[in-house]
Amino acid sequence: MAREFRLPDIGEGLTEAEIVRWLVPEGEHVDADQAIVEVETDKAVVEIPSPYAGTVVKHGGAEGETLQVGAVLVVIGDEEEEPKSVPEPVTVETGDSDQTQGSAFQEPSELASVAPIVGTISEEAEILSPPSAGPAGSGSGVKALPVVRKLARDKGIDLTLVAGSGPGGRITREDVLAAAVEREPEQPAASPQAAPTEESEEAVSSPAEPESQPMSRLRRTIAANMSRSWSEIPHVTTFDDVDATRLLEVRTALGSRHQKKIPIEALVVRAVLPALDSYPEFNASLDGDNLVLHPNRDIGIAVDTPDGLLVAVIRDAESKSVLELADEVARLGAGAKDRALGPSELTGQTFTISNIGAVGGGHGTPIVPHGTTAILSVGRARDRVIVIDGDLVVAPVMPLSLSYDHRVIDGGQGRRFMAQVMENLEEPALFLAS
């Protein structure tokens, strides 16, 4: 007997998801808990496992199609069952509102035998090859990120004909762009003797038409979040600079002793934690007329990815050492760039740090993420002439920009918070001992 599996809510408030790639084609066997499809939500690309064992009778949508939560994702039947069409949900009137029969929830008797549906992330998240061979048209055996696959579709490039230059033969964005250049026909050189015609003159003089490009799902999500924050939160931004001499010395010493790279974000997180203890309004959220002070320090780290800005979250940062924070920053940064983080790793921060210095930035006006009260932006440390004990010296100076919600935090409180953060950054012993 065929059973429908409907798209579950795999994230906080998920309403829809785009099918990136089917891992098991129609007509093939699938085991219970085997990954059957990759979907892209607002922020993450995750694999969804099958709750049943059997034959994939019908896919609920094609690759690139968007499904609503509760829509039929896949139909799984007994072995050798023939594919069939997927029924549409039936809407019935119930008086005040409409309800849809056949929702994402199953009867209790069925739920008892079904494992929880969650997204899974493989150890090599950048290699998104399916576990079983699929049809040639589905890109079976091709190692490429979803964003690269979309670029290839837009450019009309067959990924099975592209040699990957990335790790393990993974096809990169540059490989696709190079293949697109190679397939462009060569333009014949203009003959110097040919006299320009009236049509050619018009073609030269006519302006180029503007190109309209649809924004990606992630870009639309970023735009909606930024608009909401900017329209609802009265922002105040304060700027300052710190002498980063000791901070950079400590970073170098730790890296040398432990033979590992220490991201600057790991040290900044440790420097901010004592200030969050002193001023809990900065680790809070506004709920109507109530200010909710969060007991944990879940620090968001802004990550610049090829698809757009993502904020990865370090859970319980106050419980981690600098070395543990360094490992977590590296892991989350790599996972965000590969779109391999789950929804729980991309939501729920209580304070945010944005290292715009990683892309050469200085001061900025960061936007406070909705649901929080503050964000600290850290710029690149550059050598400048400063005064120390009455003498002019050259030292690495790091720009800081702190934006906060003026409904919750006054200017004086903002300055006191910034002063403690600056003091910690200028002398790391103050936060390393805590």
Catalytic residue numbers? Answer: 406
DSSP H/E element including 252:
helix 245-258
Q: Which helix (H) or strand (E) holds 199?
A: helix 198-205
Residue reference for tokens 């829809």: 16
* Amino acid residing at 424: N
Residue 410 has φ and ψ, to the nearest 5°, of: -85, 170
Helix ranges, 279-410 (H): 322-337
Q: What is the DSSP string of 105-151?
A: PPPHHHHTT------B--SSTT----SS---GGGTTT--B-HHHHHH
The answer to whether residues 247 and 398 touch, using CB atoms and an 8 Å cutoff, is yes
Dihedrals phi, psi of 61, to nearest 5 degrees:
-170, 160
Nearest to 403 by CA among 361, 360, 373, 362: 373
SS3 338: coil
* End-to-end Cα distance, the chain: 61
Query: Rounded to 10 degrees, what is the CA torsion of 417, 423, 428, 430?
Result: -80
Integer Cα distance of 430 and 276 in angstroms: 14
Among 206, 243, 181, 212, residue whose Cα is nearest residue 388: 243
**Residue holding tokens 């105040």?**
236
Q: Give the pairing of strands 391-405 and 374-378.
A: antiparallel
Q: Which two tokens stand for residue 112?
A: 């008892």
Amino acid at 207: P
As a whole number of angstroms, the distance between CA 312 and CA 416 comes to: 27
Q: What is the DSSP string of 201-250?
A: HHHHHSPPPPPP-PPPHHHHHHHHHHHHHHHHS-EEEEEEEEE-HHHHHH
